Amino acid sequence: MTDAVLAVREFSRFYTGVIGLLGDYRLAAPYSLTEARVLYELGQADATDTLDLRTRLSLDPGYLSRIVAKLDAAGLVTSERSTVDGRRQVLRLTDAGREVQRDLDARSSEQVAGLLDGAAGTEREALVGALATVRSILSRTPRGPVSLRSLRPGDLGWVVQRHGARYAEEYGFDVTFEGLVAQIVGEFGLAGDDPNQAAWIAELDGEPVGCVFCTRKDEKVAQLRLLLVEPSARGAGVGTALVNECIRFATAAGYGEMMLWTNNILHAARRVYQRAGFTLEYEGPKPNFGVDLTEQVWRKAL
């Protein structure tokens, strides 16, 4: 059995224990967990086709029929023949059913809020990113293509905040790193519409998940700075798309070379740089941002 299989099984055992599924699960009382899930799904729309509901929840037709009959008898659900296809049934929650569904939903939210009580903001962000990755992998649902756009008002603040939070969470950097990022971003913003500089925000499914800046080192050399990819988007080609766009812009702007400064602990970023044709020029120890680091300078001819 592979390590991945063992890890998934171990997490399943852990989580079912955490939310109480192995014992006397009273959160959904007086309804079973499946009945509560059916009520939740019906609560997301005015009307729901029975076949669509069964497919969505992977339920046996007979089992779903018995659940619907029970909820109907309790005055929570109504069933009628579809006006589009007379062979199919459409389900709706009654007013009483919607009240029950809202109550169950509130109970579930309170339970999860209790689990997260005491977790730091950066821990919650890391959890959300990890859950998005798990869902994407296990559902095998392809994500939309990576899209890059130029900066909009508010983006510079987002860049500073995300760098500060991510690097503190993942590498233990102190506030001096966020200060450096704020300085770089501030200088970029004050430069206005400098045609020799640019920056991009990467989006996946309409959400910002990364960024990169191309700034002027000198008249002949461009500098790639502030490459960031959120954990939820790693593995989707975001870093490669950002670096390639930076190189494309620098080439079109007439620079003859591009350089970048980084640290050896940023393994994923270094792989992206190597694939893009950068070569390591210098490496040496340099404690910074409250941790022991090894700085690196990479260069690429354009």
Rg (CA), the chain: 26
Confidence tier at 164 by pLDDT (50, 70, 90): very high
List C-alpha distances in Å: 294 to 62, 147, 224, 260, 284: 63, 32, 18, 14, 5
Can you give the pLDDT at residue 220? 96
C-alpha 9: how far from its chain's center? 23
pLDDT tops 80 at residue 276: yes
H runs (alpha helix) in 19-93: 33-42, 50-57, 61-73
Buried b (16+ CB within 10 A) or exposed e, 36-46: bbbbebbbeee
Torsion 156-157-158-163 (CA) sign: positive
CA distance linking residue 34 with residue 107, whole number of Å:
15
Q: What is the pLDDT of residues 209-242, one digit of tens each?
A: 999 999 999 999 999 999 999 887 877 889 999 9
Can you give the pLDDT at residue 282? 95
> 10 Å Cβ neighbour count for 2?
7
- Between the two ends of the chain, the Cα-to-Cα distance in Å is 48
Helix, strand, coil in percent for the chain, rounding step 5: 50, 20, 30
| Percent of the chain with pLDDT strictly greater than 90 | 46
pLDDT tops 80 at residue 154: yes
Q: Do 201 and 208 meet the contact criterion of CB atoms below 8 Å apart?
A: yes
Q: Do 269 and 230 meet the contact criterion of CB atoms below 8 Å apart?
A: no
What is the pLDDT of the chain when averaged over all its residues?
87
Give me the phi and psi of 156, to 5 degrees please.
-65, -40
Among 47-61, 90-104, 158-172, which is the least confidently predicted range?
47-61
pLDDT tops 80 at residue 39: yes
pLDDT tops 80 at residue 47: no
Confidence tier at 292 by pLDDT (50, 70, 90): very high
Among 53-67, 89-103, 129-143, which is the least confidently predicted range?
129-143
Strands (E) across the chain are located at 48-49, 77-81, 89-93, 147-150, 198-204, 207-216, 221-229, 257-263, 279-285, 294-301
More confident residue, 200 or 71: 200
Give me the phi and psi of 125, to 5 degrees please.
-65, -40
Mean pLDDT of 258-282: 93
CA distance linking residue 281 with residue 288, whole number of Å:
20
pLDDT tops 60 at residue 101: yes
Can you give the pLDDT at residue 122? 73
